[in-house]
Structure 1
Amino acid sequence: MRINLSDKQTAEIKRIVQKELLLKGIEPTDEYLFIHCFSKIHKETVYFHLLNENDTLIIRCYARVFDNLGLSEIIIGTAKNVFEYVANLTGIQNTIYIENGIEFKI
């Protein structure tokens, strides 16, 4: 289920993401909050899906990070910062980070 955020909260997520990545857009869908980014340094597109499922905050990331440790670290750091912000807003303490279908602890 998508997490509903106000315009001010969405603006804060934009600010968090833009510290490391070029933000192409944030679009709420019926199922999740879609965040489209681009890493200028690595010339790669990054997609985040942010959702709430069974009182668990989930962020799924899709990016070409194979053999690219620098980009992976940027993505994980950005996801962690978004998690912390949204967890403080919603009070949800359980979090799952999934990168290209593989679950990671952050």
Structure 2
Amino acid sequence: MRINLSEKQMAEIIRIVQKELFIKAIVPTDEYLFIHCFSKKQKETVYYHLLTENDSLIIRCYARVIDNFGLTIIIRSTAKNVLEYLINQTGFQNTIYIENGLEFKF
């Protein structure tokens, strides 16, 4: 289920993501908050889906990270910063980060 954020929270999410990635679009869908990004240095497209499920905050990331360690670090660091911000704002303690179908722990 999509997480509902205030305008201030959305602005902060945008600020966090734009430190490393260029945001092409940020669109709330019925199921998740869709963030379409572009890596400034690696010239790759990155997609984040931000949602809640069973009292957990979830970020799913889709990006072409094969043999691109620099991009991997950037997208995980960005996701971690977004999760940390939202934990403080929403009170969710359970968080899940899924990158290209694989779950990772921070």
Same fold, TM-score > 0.5, yes or no: yes
**AA of the residue aligned to 1:17:** V
Q: TM-score, normalised by structure 2?
A: 0.98
Give the C-alpha shift of residue 7 in structure 1: 1.0
- Paired positions, count: 106
Give the secondary-structure state (helix, strand or coil) at the position aligned to 1:89: helix
The residue that corresponds to 1:6 in the other structure is: 6
Partner Cα separation in structure 2 for residue 105 and residue 34 of structure 1: 21
Partner Cα separation in structure 2 for residue 11 and residue 40 of structure 1: 20
Identity of aligned residues (%): 76
Superposed counterparts of 1:72-87, under 5 Å: 72-87=72-87
Deviation sequence 1:9-59 (CA, Å, 0-9, x none): 101000000001011121100000001100021110000000000000100
Q: TM-score, normalised by structure 1?
A: 0.98
Partner Cα separation in structure 1 for residue 50 and residue 28 of structure 2: 9
Q: CA RMSD in A?
A: 0.6
Deviation sequence 1:65-103 (CA, Å, 0-9, x none): 011010000000000000011111110001110000000
Partner Cα separation in structure 2 for residue 87 and residue 4 of structure 1: 13
Gaps of 5+ in 2: none
Runs of 4+ in 1 over 6 A off after TM superposition: none
